[in-house]
Chain A
Amino acid sequence: MTPASETAGRPDARAKLHGAVRYGTDLESPGMLWGALVPAPRPSGAVRRLDLSAARALPGVVAIGPDDLDRLLPPAYRSAERPLFAAASIDYGFQPIAAVAAPTRAAARAAAEAVRATVDPAPVVADVESIFPDWPGPEAVGSPHVAAHVHAVRGDVDAAFRDADRVVRETYRTASVHQVALEPHACLARVDGDRWTVRTSTQSPFGTREDLATMLGLPESAIEVAGTWVGGGFGGKGAPLLEPYALLLARASGRPVRLALDYAEEFRLGRTTLPAVVRMETAVRDGTISGRRVRLLLDVGAALPGRDFATGYSIGFLLGPYRTPTFEVEGFGVRTHKPPFGPHRAPFAPQCAFVVESHLDHVAREVGLDPEAFRAAHLWREGEATPLGQPVGPFGLAAAFERARATARAWRAAAPPGHGVGVAGGFWSTGTGAGGELRLRLAPSEVVLEVGEREIGSGSVVAGLRAVAVRVLGLPADRIRVESLGTAEAPFDSGVFGSRTVAVLGRAIEAAAAELRSILAARLGAGGPVEFGIDGERIHVRADPAGGRIDRPLADLLTPDERGEGGVVVVGKHYGRGGTIDESLVRAGTFYGYTDFTGAAHVAEVAVDRATGAVRVVRYTAFQDVGTLVDPPAARAQVEGGIAMGLGTALTEEAIWSDDGRLLNPGLLDYRIPTFGEVPPIEVEFLEGFPGAGPFGAKGLGEPPIIPVPAAIALAVREACGAHATELPVTAERTARALKLL
């Protein structure tokens, strides 16, 4: 526990409660133009003719298309993997084919509508099953429909299935879900000579700069990306989306250009979790899993071939966290005419947990075993190897699962008719990204942590890093401040994603503090451990060498240079590594190891309306393996928020496409995230003592809480009414069908 951070609260609360922080959507600049994207009128085909003349004839309008890129960009832009504007091949609906800027928002919209395009239509691939109604054969590998193929085998799977007492086969389907950050994407770009600058609501300023350099053919040194306060990210703001177009329009117009999505565009252009079909086969012998086959058809939208991380990473979550002596796992990332698959809080892991938990629960029922005891008995334990051959590190899942089962027993004893209780586990691994650095400035009266990340909501940047510094330096929270800088001034960091901020930059704080202590120990002549303290406003440096206690104000220890810089400045770095798997098992594609092993087990109680199939979640408890709790209020808030988001994935959220590739519900009325009334009372318990990759053994916590939610709710529904859900979301209509009411 860290009492100092508890009492300090969020440093950004007051400003946010007075409307005083500025997000991407708030950006403006004198002389600015408003930008708008011109969408492809169909999800597939070729743009035969693009006529910008009517748009350009409007007062103050700048319009650009593919033909303008040669004059706006250096030739290197042509080596980017995807053209900036769709021309010869439209990859998905509403893909930009041109862009406009005008003096007002209304004028920009009118200009976009004035662009005329003639498109030669081509067939639309709306979903994976229209391409592979059965299962892809060997010819599928290398087909233009396949962006990724992963395949791994261990042991004699055929023998395991041949010798099994029982084999259970099922097919599951999961839906596309959107991040729905309340703030739409927005940025403001300007180009001055060869300086390309963009302020943007992003989870990753450095990642955005790197991608922009590739897309625009510019050196990274010519680009500056500065963040804003971010109105929610959840993975959707990790890579450039609008920034290249805003920069091009700024270049073409010579003016600052603001570009923001409206909320319908947010749904149509956002990159997120797409639908999937999963086939699960499990062989059981003597009450134990003896073999598994897992097959995944993942819709990866317009993903570029070879650039699909999703298929290889997610397929591990379809195997684990359960022991199996033999297995065969194969996944195809299938291209469709949707925007490319993109990260959404623990990308595709909640869907995987739903499939794995529901399937193994079903297997246990089929062979007459207690479903929860069956799963518990197969959970990975520390020291054994994962199916892919990586040794399992400290892992709190089995302990969390036992706690969850105990809670479930108590709830079942008190549950009224029509209620059901579900228990589900899930696992995750703290992300490392490409590593990260942080500049620590120890000034006479405060500590400033300078980072290249912006706060996206969880508090990991403004409060989490501060909490780590409180613990590492022993100084109170009100003396520690986090300052976010753009790529021009900040030390490198990968960004806020993968639950990595506190883990990676927290370790960077530890490294910086160690260097700081050794510098100051030398100046004190102490030779031993150095501590920090406060005397009034001033930071003191203390040591207790054998010769007696030394206690000096920091100000007295600064060199003249440091006085000029405002304090002692050190840079802490942390470049973590993922785990290693047994590559001899891999037959195709890339599989990934884990940095650490984070478990979560959740219990849901639901009430099912047996006449309509409607589900209401009555109460919910989460047991989260956190390694070490760094900032308790923020940790609780992460879990509560993750559960509510998972509840939407479980019950109501679903992006629906028509057979001709149109998104039918691009709005917040028909794409239904949970409202206040649907979220039940939530209890959160943390399990410490299973250390992870972060400082003091902390584990990332942004993503793990969402993972078990759809599974826990679906299993509770099954217990309440007998409806076995094999499809997400578990809508009332699907449950009614499972109950054979229709």
Chain B
Amino acid sequence: MTGGPIALRVNGVERRASDVPASERLLDTLRWRFDLKGTKEGCRTGGCGACTVLVDGESTLSCLTLTHEVDGRAVATIEAGGESPTMERVRAAFVAEGALQCGYCTPGFVVALTGLLEERGRAASRDEMLEALAGNLCRCTGYAAIGRAVERLRAEAP
């Protein structure tokens, strides 16, 4: 098929689109069809992590994902609200440590960390968290404050 309908559950809400081209990327579906522009377009080649979203809880580069490939699955983005308590925890740590500046990479960092914490539960170590962020580029913070947010998340774990 050259295109067709898709249905995604985005941040807990059913979203449908009727005529999505086969080549369309999840990044563009979220941003231009659903107006969820919190997911950022950076390099579009998988090199910066700004477009990271969760697909069924797994961090995924939405620029390298065909929308049809994830048809029917659950997607979480930076716009997720209270239905993602883990993301709320990550946000609180970022606020407390001032772990953002221009904010363009921030959604990718928050989503990637959320994905890891959901995958690993509270057992996630600092090294695992840093590994989970190795594909997310930040040019403003030098990662220092983000590292402090990671420490805070680790310290909060029981």
Contacts and interface: CB of A to CB of B under 8 A. Distances in A.
A binds B: yes
A182 B105 contact: yes
Nearest to B110: A17
Interface residues of B, number: 47
A231 B139 CA distance: 10
A181 B78 CA distance: 20
Interface string B101-135: 11111110010000000000000000000100111
Nearest to B100: A16
A552 B37 CA distance: 46
B61 interface: no
B94 A17 contact: yes
B104 A643 contact: no
Contact of B144 (A16, A459, A640): A640
A501 to B, nearest CB: 14
Interface stretch (A204-212, A370-378, A668-676): A668-676
Nearest to B41: A25
A230 to B, nearest CB: 6
Nearest to A463: B98
A28 B142 contact: no
Interface string A618-648: 0000000000000001100100111111000
A234 interface: yes
A612 to B, nearest CB: 21
| A10, A16, A25, A637, most chain B CB atoms within 10 A | A16
Contacts of B133: 676
Contacts of B105: 182
A183 interface: yes
Contact of B104 (A182, A676, A677): A182
Contacts of A183: 40, 42, 102, 104
Nearest to B145: A637
A637 B45 contact: no
A641 to B, nearest CB: 4
A70 B157 CA distance: 66
A182 B40 contact: yes
A633 B50 CA distance: 24
A679 B102 contact: no
Contact of A19 (B32, B41, B79, B95): B79
B137 A668 contact: yes
A231 B40 CA distance: 10
A716 B138 CA distance: 25
B43 interface: yes
B38 A182 contact: no
Nearest to A22: B37
Interface in B70-110: 77-79, 91, 94-95, 98, 100-107, 110
B36 to A, nearest CB: 7
A262 interface: yes
Nearest to A642: B142
Contact of B98 (A22, A637, A643): A637
| B103, B107, B133, B137, most chain A CB atoms within 10 A | B103
B140 A10 contact: no
A2 to B, nearest CB: 15
Contact of A637 (B40, B44, B47, B101): B101
Given A179-B139, A641-B139, A645-B142, 13 more contacts: A16-B106, A18-B38, A19-B77, A26-B37, A180-B137, A184-B41, A232-B101, A458-B101, A637-B101, A668-B42, A675-B134, A676-B138, A677-B134
28 contacts: A10-B98, A14-B91, A17-B95, A17-B103, A19-B38, A20-B79, A25-B41, A28-B32, A180-B137, A181-B102, A182-B48, A183-B40, A184-B41, A229-B102, A230-B102, A263-B42, A455-B102, A457-B140, A637-B98, A637-B101, A640-B141, A640-B142, A667-B45, A668-B42, A673-B139, A674-B142, A676-B143, A677-B130
